[in-house]
Structure 1
Amino acid sequence: MPVAVIDGQPLHYVDQGSGPVVLLGSSYLWDRDMWSPQIEALSQQYRVIVPELWGHGESGQLPAQTHSLDDLARQTLALLDQLDIAHINLVGLSVGGMWGARLALLAPERVNSLVLMDTYLGAEPEATRQYYFSLFKMIEDAGAIPEPLLDVIAPIFFRPGIDRESALYQDFRKQLQGYSRERLVHSIVPLGRLIFSREDVLEQLPRLDADTTLVMCGEQDKPRPPAESEEMAGLIGCSLILIPQAGHISARENPDFVNEALLTFLANHA
């Protein structure tokens, strides 16, 4: 994987295909493999860039100067500058959509189109924020994700009826189990706290271009339910697509549907 040094840390990224640039922003706790079906499908026509979140995949530690989602947006712009990429089509899922929308608000001239998937630009409801913070404290204290917590955290990302013996589920669970103490304490937990204490930017959403923005959401997404996507699409004035048979990581749970929707959207906007 190619690497760029951003804020003093190595940021690894996928760079595959040629043509207009599509940048894919990943979910928290997922590496580049989250997008493998999309990388394969989109790179036939587009140059696909997938930066790995700090502490995820092969990327380095969360840089000390990372305090907010705006910093993640700024770091992505720094990557684009290093790659001499002027314009992108940005597809962000979960936290990828949270910093992705901020990047589009910060530098609208750089973003030809924006797809917000299974994400929310409001603040985290206080009850869920406190719940996630309690999980982070347990992980920090243990220096690992304890076995009982694996079976609390992993299901959050999938539709309720997923086969827990499936490769998709088991591979993700093993990935969570494999995080080192150093990664958890210095990158994963601080990044999680940053995500779930984010500021509400819903009032800025009408500034996004309704004609070049699309909101998508898994019909069975539990952490980011469709009602949140409906609210955002209403504020932006853009289309909303609900993804059947999919929870939070809709790109992996219903990849054929997602690929078709993205290819159709990009054909008109990239």
Structure 2
Amino acid sequence: MPTVVIDDQPLHYVDQGAGPVVLLGQSYLWDRQMWAPQIAALSQKYRVIVPELWGHGESGPLPAQTRTLDDLARQALALLDHLEIAKVNLVGLSVGGMWGAPLALLAPERVNSLVLMDTYLGAEPEATREKYFALLSAIEATGTISDPLLDIIVPIFFRPGIDRESALYQDFRQSLSNLPKDRLLQSIVPLGRLIFGRSDAMEGLSDLNAETTLVMCGREDQPRPPAEAQEMADRIGCDLILIPDAGHISSRENPDFVNEALLTFLANHA
């Protein structure tokens, strides 16, 4: 994987395929494998760029100057500048959408189309913010994600009925248990606090181009339920697609449906 230094830290990214550029932004606690089915499908027609979040995959630690989601958007723009890419079709899932929408508002001339998946631009509801902050404090206190914490965290990302013995579920659980202490303390915990302590950015959504924006959401997404997706789609004035048999990581739980929806949207907008 190629690397670029941004804000004094190495950012790893996938760069695969040729054609109009599709920039994929991933979820917190996932690496590039979250988009594996989409990289395979989209790179047949498009140039697919997938930056790995700081402290995730092979990217370096969270840069010291990263304090808001706007900073993540600015860093993504720095990657595009490095690659000399003028325009992208941006698909952001979860935190990928939380910095993707600000990027589209910050530099609308750089974003040809925007897909917001399983994400929410409002502030984190108080109950879940307190829950997530408590989990982060527990991780910080021990420098590890213990089995009891894994039993709480891992199911959040999937539909309630997922087979917990499946490779998708078990591989994700193992990846979290393998995270080293320095990565947890330097990147995962502070990035989590940045994400879940975010300010409300819903008001800006009405400035997005409704004609070139799409909202998608797993029908069984627990942390980012369809009601939030509907609220955003209404604010933007764009279409909403609910993804059957999928929770938060809809890109992996129902990849065929997601791929078809993205390819259809891109064919009309890329």
The TM-score range, normalised by the shorter chain, is: over 0.9
Q: Does 1:161 align with 2:165?
A: no
Cα distance in 2 between the residues matched to 1:219 and 1:129: 22
Counterpart in 2 of 1:100?
100
Matches of residues 93-242 of structure 1 in structure 2 within 5 Å?
93-242=93-242
Cα distance in 2 between the residues matched to 1:134 and 1:229: 26
In the superposition, the TM-score normalised over structure 2's length comes to 1.00
Give the 3-state SS of the residue equivalent to 1:241 in structure 2.
strand
CA shift, 1:127, in A, is 1.2
Counterpart in 2 of 1:47?
47
The two structures, once aligned, show a CA RMSD in angstroms of 0.3
Deviations 1:169-205 (A, max 9, x none): 0000000000000000000000000000111111111
Structure 1 residue identity aligned to 2:215: V
Cα distance in 1 between the residues matched to 2:153 and 2:134: 12
CA shift, 1:246, in A, is 0.2
Give the 3-state SS of the residue equivalent to 2:223 in structure 1.
coil
Give the 3-state SS of the residue equivalent to 1:37 in structure 2.
helix
| Percent identity over paired residues | 78
Unaligned runs of 5+ in 1: none
Cα distance in 1 between the residues matched to 2:191 and 2:49: 21
Structure 1 residue identity aligned to 2:179: Y
Cα distance in 2 between the residues matched to 1:125 and 1:153: 17
Structure 1 residue identity aligned to 2:138: M
Counterpart in 2 of 1:28?
28
Give the 3-state SS of the residue equivalent to 1:170 in structure 2.
helix
CA shift, 1:31, in A, is 0.0
CA shift, 1:126, in A, is 1.1
